[in-house]
Structure 1
Amino acid sequence: MKLTTLSVGLTLACSTMLLSGMAQADYPNRDIRVIIPGAAGGGTDAIVRKISSIAEEDLPVSIYAENVEGGMTATGMMQLMKSRPDGQTIAAITYDSIITIPWKNMLPGFDIDQMRMIARITSEADAITVPENSPYKTFDDLIEAAKKDPESIRVGIQNLGARTHLTLLQLQEMTGAKFKIVSYQSSAASQKEALLNGEVDAVVTSLGDLAPLIESGQARGLVEFSDTQNAGFPDVPPVTETDTGLDLQMGSFIVLVAPARTPDDVVEKLETTYHNAYESDEFRQWLEKIGVTPAWLGADDVTQWAQDTQSQLFTTMDDLVDKGVLEK
């Protein structure tokens, strides 16, 4: 009887493993959901939808994006963490998911170790953009005005304590300029609206986020916080080439992730599929048109990069807290 019971148990275990292997080998056999933890209409939303539409051409199923707003991406991260690790639900995360949420402990128990990183797609420097009719023609004009008349210039950011806030705080500390900071609890879509209706005099976000406004002549980029010229926006200088001589480099990125414990072969399939889409002429030409820098890192490299980036920025943010510039 003991042998029979043991045999049945082994048979069931082997059957389970076989079925699991078959399910993975058959992946994907259902449509894949991509969580975008932010509002529709922003740069991240557009980029993820574009590359996913190309990626699904190599699959027997569709890839559909779903915007899940709230908590500076925390709501979307919660949904990802609760999803089954089978590759049917993935997410496109940005700066806040890797830096802001764990640093501020906004989602207790959350850390990047609870995700399997598939790939980094883009890297986008933050920039300052003003309306076309702005009196500030250059970045230096803006800085001088903000030093001469502190808090007279309203600058829109995405969430207090988030990346664009940190960029502006560092800019103030490095130049002595003082801006009136206006926070929008959403994505770049809210900043666009505020810039157009005159609620703010400038916004801090990537040039890609505001590409339609810049291309239509409704807005102008003044500076990009990078050390290299953005080919998509040749009229916007990197900060290192302005008269200020600053070397402030800050920005966002898009990283595709899956829940922890997602099988290796599933992650590999997703990485290969998205890499093919990334390398396509259609995607590369589209990125250049909207002024976004392609910056691929595969699964073997992106995790280490994320850990290094997190450690570096945590140190910077802790230093700003010690100086009383930033609150945790």
Structure 2
Amino acid sequence: MTLLKTTTLFAAAAAAAIWFAAPASAQDYPTKDIRLVVPWAAGGGTDGISRKVSAIAEKELGQTIYVENVDGGMSANGIMNVMSARPDGYTIGVLTYDSVITVPYQKLLPSYDLDKLQMIGRLTLEPDAIIVSKDSPYKSVDELIAAAKKEPGEIKVAVQNTGSRTHLAMLKFEKLTGTDLDLIAYPGGASPQKEAMLSGEVGIAVTSLGDFSNLIEEGDARGLVEFSDTPNPTYKDVPDAKSAGLDVQSGSFIIVAAPKKTPEDVVEKLATAYENALNGEEFQSWVSKVGVTPAWLGPQEATAFVKDEQDRIFAQFDSLKESGAISQ
């Protein structure tokens, strides 16, 4: 075989390899199942919401979106899976507060960098709340405050990770109310908090009402106060912090993201499917019962939201560090 023919064949083979390796365009996408990484254990609010909206979105896409729970590292393990995945639209994931705030701020993993992701869209906003078990003697947040002042350091409260938004919210709550609570960290999202409450380890947990919606519906838990400035459209009997005279705002969100360099038209197709699913009657009817606020933002707006949240909350962290309330 001549050198010219060999070179030509090699070039053709290389071109073919590049063509086959290239991500499919949105015209054909998707041609197979899509993997959705949820970086928290199964059974929590993020898991339930992600599964529900994805099950609706997949109808428009024509392929199954299957959930893989990859927990650990305050969501870092799962998000790292997405960051390192091939940018072809067949691996996507969901970000929550810890993914955007806690992990980057605490610099838990040197290779963790949100610039490795392309935002697809924000799905929800979820204010946190103080939630008590069905047997709790506290019928209002004022009763809890009064009891905490009588028994400093004795009342157990399940927060999530140390330094998490729920932990910081309760540090602020203690400062505002002059109380001292026994804040116990349960890493891994709402699921371990539920188990702790159901087993009787704690009688109080701090997370979103949506995270505990199944326990609330079954009568095993109830909301005491929500860290928001507006009433919850689902749990109208739970007072918001503003009406309770508390200046505490805290909550999470769910954002869908893909690996960086995922083709723009593929991102747009995913964004359209999720937006339509979120705004459709099926999801709206379902979510109205779980205490979560649908709050869609498209790819560009979601990217700006992430930056704004980091700028705002990192400044709060810096202030708490300077005061000695938390460490890096």
Class of the TM-score when normalised by the shorter of the 2 chains: over 0.9
Secondary structure of 1:23's counterpart equals coil
Which residue type is aligned with residue 186 of structure 2? Y
Structure 1 vs Structure 2: percent identity of aligned residues?
A: 50
In structure 2, what is the Cα distance between the partners aligned to 1:22 and 1:133? 54
On the 8 A contact 2:41/2:189 being kept in 1, the answer is: yes
Query: Is the partner of 2:310 in helix, strand or coil?
Result: helix
Instruction: Tell me the alpha carbon deviations over residues 101-120 of structure 1, each in whole angstroms, 9 at most, x when there is no partner.
Output: 00000111322211100000
Aligned length: 326
Q: Secondary structure at the match of 2:326?
A: coil
Distance 1:275 1:48 in 2: 13
Give me the whole-angstrom Cα distance separating, in 2, the residues matched to 1:309 and 1:215: 31
Provide the rounded CA distance (Å) in 1 between the counterparts of 2:157 and 2:165.
14
Say if 2:193 is the partner of 1:191: yes
In structure 1, the residue matched to 2:275 is: 275
Alignment of 1:115-126 (within 5 A): 115-126=117-128
Q: Cα 1:17–1:43, aligned 2, differ >3 Å: closer, same or farther?
A: same
1:190-220 CA-partner distances (Å, limit 9, x unpaired): 1112112221121000001111111121111
Distance 1:112 1:23 in 2: 24
Tell whether 2:227 aligns with 1:225.
yes
Aligned to 1:95: 97
Query: Once superposed, what is the RMSD of the aligned Cα atoms?
Result: 2.1
- In structure 2, what is the Cα distance between the partners aligned to 1:279 and 1:20? 35
- The alignment partner of 2:258 has SS state of strand
Aligned residue in 2 for 1:285? 285
Counterpart position of 2:116: 114
- 1:161-240 pair list within 5 angstroms: 161-240=163-242
1:152 matched residue in structure 2: 154
- 1:69: Cα distance to partner? 1.1
Contact 2:133–2:197 (CA under 8 A) maintained in structure 1: yes
CA deviation after TM superposition for structure 1 residue 72, in Å: 0.6
Which position in structure 2 is the counterpart of 1:138?
140
Offset of residue 301 of structure 1: 0.3
d(CA) in 1 for partners of 2:104, 2:31: 34
Return the match for 2:86 from 81, 84, 93: 84
Query: What is the aligned partner in structure 2 of residue 304 from structure 1?
Result: 304
Show CA shifts across 1:123-182 (max 9, x none): 000000011221111011112222232111100011111121111112112222111011
Looking at structure 1, the residues matched to 203 and 69 of structure 2 have their Cα atoms a distance apart, in angstroms, of 28
**Runs of 4+ more than 3 Å apart:** 1-22
Q: Provide the residue aligned with 1:316 in structure 2.
A: 316
Secondary structure of 2:212 counterpart = helix
- In the other structure, the counterpart of 2:65 is 63
Deviation at 1:14, TM superposition (A): 7.2
1:32 corresponding residue in structure 2: 34
Q: Distance in 1 between matches of 2:265 and 2:157?
A: 46
Question: Could you tell me how far apart the structure 2 residues matched to 1:229 and 1:253 are?
Answer: 17
**What are structure 1's unaligned runs of at least 5 residues?**
none
TM-score (ref. length: structure 2): 0.93
Instruction: Give the Cα separation in 2 of the matches to 1:53 and 1:35.
Output: 14
